[in-house]
Amino acid sequence: MDNNKIFQQKIAEHADVQINPAQQKKLNSPVLNNEGLKREDKEYLELVLGMIKNGQINLSMPSSLLNLGEYEKLSPENKVKVEMRARIILQDLRQLEKLANTIDHATESYQMESVIHQIKLSVDALEDVEGDVLKI
C-alpha cells in the first residue's frame, strides 16, 4: 500500500474524533517563548506595527514600503526587482500584523520571532544590493 492510501486510511479512522473549542484554541495558539522577544526584536515589532497603525505602511500597497528618494535613483530593471521583493515583504508584514492583533500573547511567541527575523533578513538582503530603498 502506498503512503497516500495509508494516510487516507488513518484520516478515515479518526474522522469522528471531536475536539472541544477550548482544546482547539490551545492547539491553534503559537508556542510561547518564556524569555520573550529580545529587546531589538521587540523594538522592531513596535516600529513596524506603529508604521502600519499610523498609515505609513499600507498592507495592500507595496509602494508604501518604498523610500521613494532612493527608489527613483534605480534603473528600471532594479525597480522591478525592488517592487517584487516589496510584495514579498508586505506579505510577511501582513502575517506579522495578523499574528500580533488576533492571537493572545503572540508577540511573545517563537512564531513572532521567526516572522520578525524573516522580515529583517529580507529587508537587509534587498538593501545590501539596492541601497536604502525601503522605509523599514
Tens digit of each residue's pLDDT, the chain (136 residues)? 688 888 888 888 888 888 888 888 887 778 888 888 999 999 999 999 999 999 999 999 999 999 999 999 999 999 999 999 999 999 999 999 999 987 776 788 899 999 999 999 999 999 999 999 999 9
Q: Which three cell numbers stand for residue 93?
A: 508584514
Return d(Cα 109, Cα 37) in angstroms, integer: 8
Residue 74, sorted as left (phi over 0), alpha (psi -120 to 50) or beta, turns out to be: beta
Instruction: Please identify which residue in the block is written with the cell numbers 495558539.
Output: 29
Q: What is the pLDDT of residue 1?
A: 66
Q: What is the pLDDT of residue 95?
A: 94
Is the full-model pTM beyond 0.85? no
Instruction: Please identify which residue in the block is written with the cell numbers 520573550.
Output: 36
Residue type, 9: Q
Return d(Cα 83, Cα 66) in angstroms, integer: 9
DSSP output for 47-89: HHHHHHHTTSS-TT-GGGGB-HHHHTTS-HHHHHHHHHHHHHH
Q: What is the dihedral of CA 55, 46, 122, 75, to 10 degrees?
A: 40
Q: What is the pLDDT of residue 102?
A: 79
| Beta carbons within 8 Å of 108's beta carbon, 6+ residues apart | 32, 33, 36, 37
